[in-house]
Amino acid sequence: MKNNTAISPLNIARMREDIHFQTNLVGRQFNFCSTWGLFSPKVVDEGSQLLIDRLQVESADRCLDLGCGYGPIGLAMASLASEGQTVLIDKDFVAIEYSKKNAALNKLDNVDIFLSNGFSHIDDHYFDVIASNLPAKTGKELYYLYFYDAFVRMRPGAQFYVVTISGLRRFIERAFKEVFGNYKKLKQGQVYTVALAVKE
C-alpha cells in the first residue's frame, strides 16, 4: 500500500526556497526572508513581538541584538536608532546570512552583522540598548555568561531587554538583581515575559 503522505520532489524543491513575509514593527512595514531551520521562519514570533513593542530606543543609540536569528529585533532597533548603529550577532551562520539579506531588503545600512558565540567576538563595542529573545532550552550557566558579558559592554544608563518563556521569570528576576542590581517586569503573558535591567 502506497504512503499517501509522501512529499513529492516538487514540494521538496519548494521547501528549499526562501520564505517571504511582511509584518509591521515599530510603526513601519518590514519585509523578511527566512528559511526552514531558523526560529519562527514564517512569522515574527510572539515573544519577539512583545519585546519589540516595549523597546525604548533613542535615535542616536548604539544597540545590540544578541542571538539575532534572521533579524527582526535588531532591524527594528536599527530603524529606531536611525542616527546610531546597531550590531546583530548570532552563533548560527545561516541566521547571519539572512539577517544581512533582511537588512539590505529593508534598506537599513546602519547595522553591523557578524558571527559571534555570545559576546566572544565583540571587541571594542559598547551599547546603550541590548535586547535578546533568550532561548528556552539552554543552561542557566549560559544566561549568566550573557548577563555578565552584557553588563561589561553596557554604557552607564544602558538598558538590557530580554524576553523568555514565563516559566523562567523568577530566575530572570533573581539573576538580574544579582548582576545588575535591578529588575523590572515590563509584560507578563501566559507564554512569555519581557524584563528590563538598567546599568546604574
Q: Quote the pLDDT of residue 17.
A: 84
For 44-198, CATH number? Answer: 3.40.50.150
Please, what is the average pLDDT of the chain? 94
Q: What is the mean pLDDT of residues 173-197?
A: 96
Q: Quote the pLDDT of residue 5.
A: 64
| pTM for the whole structure | 0.92
For every residue of 69-123, DSSP letters joined together read TTSHHHHHHHHH-TTSEEEEEES-HHHHHHHHHHHHHTT--SEEEEE-STTTT--
Contact 141, 118 (CB under 8 A): no
| Per-residue pLDDT band at 4 (split at 50, 70, 90) | low
6-53 tens-digit pLDDT: 778 778 778 778 899 999 999 999 999 999 999 999 999 999 999 999
Q: What is the mean pLDDT of residues 61-74?
A: 98
For the chain, give the percent of residues with pLDDT over 70: 98
- Whether residue 1 is predicted with pLDDT greater than 50 in this model: the reply is no
For every residue of 22-87, DSSP letters joined together read EEEETTEEEEEEE-BTBSSTTS--HHHHHHHTT----TT-EEEEES-TTSHHHHHHHHH-TTSEEE
